[in-house]
């Protein structure tokens, strides 16, 4: 009987942007604190842009705004990618979360019969619940060239969530009726996601960044939702061309939201 291919072998066989970062390193851990923390440590020790770290389980998975990312062992996806961001002062960085969200939405849609929608900036929502999340970070100390770390978590096989997440999180196995073997392998999702994201970064770096807001809008939840973000409350209007969210307050004043967790008000 042949040995099943490892995560790294499957990943490299599926990756379409092998030449984008030809010296990339690909690491897979059975258990790690956080794939993003491991990647940041590797970057500090000289790992190149393009390096990928994935794991079967995270003991300290991190979400946006200091939240915990539920990361049990199983066939969920926990992956982080180091990506060079060459124009940090030119409106480039705010586009990275959008590109990561568009890439995730497309890869999930390609591999499973679900209709993901993006909630600003890049939560992946299916049937009103979160299926996947993305964390973009600029590791300290700042490097030259600037390298960002993008971490993706996709709930694939997890069947139960802690009480506080049970109403707001979902997984592919809960959404799809069918056999577990019909669920996508985490390594294939990871490779396709890295490929899609790197293609977006190539487009952006070659002056085609104006394509991204429309791609994001086409995959987003409809605007016109009542939201709260920090102290701001109002109705979502649109995405700005530099990737921020425009919200119309009841006072008639339109504000530009650059960060924070968007809470829908029903």
DSSP letters of 58-96? BSS-B-GGG-B----SSS-EEEEEEEE---TTTT-TTHH
Site string for ligand BTN, 153-192 (x = CB under 6 A): x---------------------------------------
Cβ of residue 32: shortest distance to ligand BTN, in angstroms? 9
Of 28, 78, 120, 200, which lies in the binding site for ligand BTN, with binding defined by CB under 6 A?
A: 78
Q: Is 121 in the site for ligand BTN (CB under 6 A)?
A: no
Q: Which is nearer to ligand BTN, 49 or 152 (CB)?
A: 152
d(CA 152, CA 78): 6
CA distance 155 to 239: 27
Chain position carrying tokens 């940090």: 88
For position 151 contacting ligand BTN by CB under 6 A, the verdict is: yes
Shortest distance, CB of residue 76 to ligand BTN, whole angstroms?
A: 9
- Does 62 bind ligand BTN (CB under 6 A)? Our answer is yes
Interface positions, 17-46, toward ligand BTN (CB under 6 A): 34-36
Return the axis-axis angle of helices 95-111 and 211-219, rounded to nearest 10°.
50
Among 42, 78, 84, smallest CA distance to 62 is for 78
Q: Residue 90 Cβ, how far from ligand BTN at the closest point, in Å?
A: 25
Cα–Cα distance for residue pair 195/56, rounded to 1 Å: 21
Residues that contact ligand BTN, how many (by CB under 6 A): 20
Tell whether the torsion through CA atoms of 248, 250, 253 and 255 is positive or negative.
negative
Q: Which is nearer to ligand BTN, 56 or 152 (CB)?
A: 152
d(CA 39, CA 135): 13
Distance in Å, CB of 10 to ligand BTN, minimum:
18
Among 134, 147, 172, 212, binds ligand BTN (CB under 6 A): 134
CA distance 124 to 147: 24
Question: Whose Cβ is closer to ligand BTN: residue 51's or residue 209's?
Answer: 51
Number of H helices, E strands in the chain: 6, 12
Instruction: Please report how close the Cβ of residue 249 comes to ligand BTN at its closest, in angstroms.
Output: 25
**Interface with ligand BTN (CB under 6 A):** 34-36, 58, 61-64, 67, 69, 78-80, 123, 133-135, 151-153
């Amino acid at each position: 009987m042949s040995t099943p291919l490892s995560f790294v072998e499957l990943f490299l066989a599926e990756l379409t942007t092998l030449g984008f970062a030809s010296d990339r390193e690909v690491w897979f851990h059975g258990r790690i604190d956080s794939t993003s923390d491991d990647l940041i440590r590797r970057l500090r020790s000289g790992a190149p842009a393009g390096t990928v770290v994935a794991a079967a389980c995270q003991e300290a998975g991190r979400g946006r705004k200091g939240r915990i990312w539920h990361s049990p062992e199983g066939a969920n996806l926990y992956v982080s990618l180091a990506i060079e961001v060459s124009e940090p002062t030119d409106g480039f960085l705010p586009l990275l979360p959008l590109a990561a969200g568009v890439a995730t939405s497309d890869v999930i849609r390609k591999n499973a019969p679900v209709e993901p929608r993006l909630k600003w900036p890049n939560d992946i929502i299916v049937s009103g619940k979160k299926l996947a999340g993305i964390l973009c970070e600029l590791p300290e100390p700042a490097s030259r060239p600037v390298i960002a770390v993008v971490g993706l978590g996709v709930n694939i096989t997890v069947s139960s969530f802690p009480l506080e997440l049970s109403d707001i999180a979902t997984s592919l196995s809960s959404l799809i009726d069918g056999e577990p073997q019909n669920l996508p392998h985490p390594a294939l999702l990871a490779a396709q996601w890295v490929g899609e994201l790197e293609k977006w970064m190539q487009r952006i770096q070659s002056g085609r960044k104006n394509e991204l807001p429309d791609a994001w809008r086409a995959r987003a939840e409809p605007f016109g939702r009542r939201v709260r973000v920090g102290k701001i409350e109002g109705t979502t209007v649109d995405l700005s061309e530099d990737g921020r969210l425009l919200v119309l307050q009841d006072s008639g004043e339109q504000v530009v939201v650059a960060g924070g967790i968007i809470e829908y008000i029903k």
